Amino acid sequence: MLRALLYILPLALTIYAFIDCLNTPEDETKHLPKVAWVFIILLFWIVGPIVWLAAGKLRRAPAGGGAPSPFSRGSRDRRSEWVAPDDNPEFLKSLREENQKDESLLEDWEADLRRREEELRKKDGDEQQDGGEGGSGKS
C-alpha cells in the first residue's frame, strides 16, 4: 500500500499541476512562458509540479479580503474579484440611479394624469352648462 502511494501521490500532483498550468491565462504565469512551465511540470516529475505551485503563477487574494501574499506581484494588473451585489458600490449606485429615473417617470405620469383629469372635468362642466341652457330654451 505504501509503495503504491509513492507512485500515486506524485502522479496526482503532476496531473493537478499540469491541468492548473493549462487553465492559467498566459498573462498570469510568472518567470517563464506557459509552454516552458508545461515542459518543466512534465519532465521534472516531482520537482516541476512543486515549483509550479510555489512560484509559477500569480495567486489571488482571498475573497474575504486580507492582504495578498508577498509573492504575488502585479496585483494591480489582476482582474477584479467577484463581489456580492449588496457589497458592490457600483451596483448599488446603479440601483439608486434607476430608482430616481423611475420616480421621475412616475411623477411625470401622475402630472399628466392630473392634467387630463382636469381637462375632462372642464370639458364635462362646459357640456353640462351648454346642455342645461339649450334644454331650458327649447322647453
CA torsion 35-39-40-44 (nearest 10°) is: 170
Name the more confident of 13 and 5.
Answer: 13
Digit-coded pLDDT (tens) for 40-88 = 999 988 899 999 888 887 776 555 555 555 454 444 444 566 778 778 8
Percent of the chain residues topping a pLDDT of 70? 78
Residue 57 three-state SS:
strand
What is the percent of the chain with per-residue pLDDT over 90, rounded to a whole number? 38
108 pLDDT above the threshold of 90: yes
Mean predicted confidence (pLDDT) in 86-105: 90
Rounded Cα–Cα distance for residues 37 and 49 (Å) = 9
Does this model's pTM top 0.95?
no
The pLDDT assigned to 133 comes to 57
pLDDT at site 77: 45
Residue 37 pLDDT exceeds 50: yes
Q: Which residue has the higher pLDDT, 123 or 59?
A: 123
Whether 13 and 50 have beta carbons less than 8 Å apart is answered as yes
63: nearest Cα among 84, 46, 47: 84
Q: How would residue 6 be classed by pLDDT, with cut points 50, 70 and 90? A: confident
Asked if the model's pLDDT at residue 132 lies above 90, the reply is no
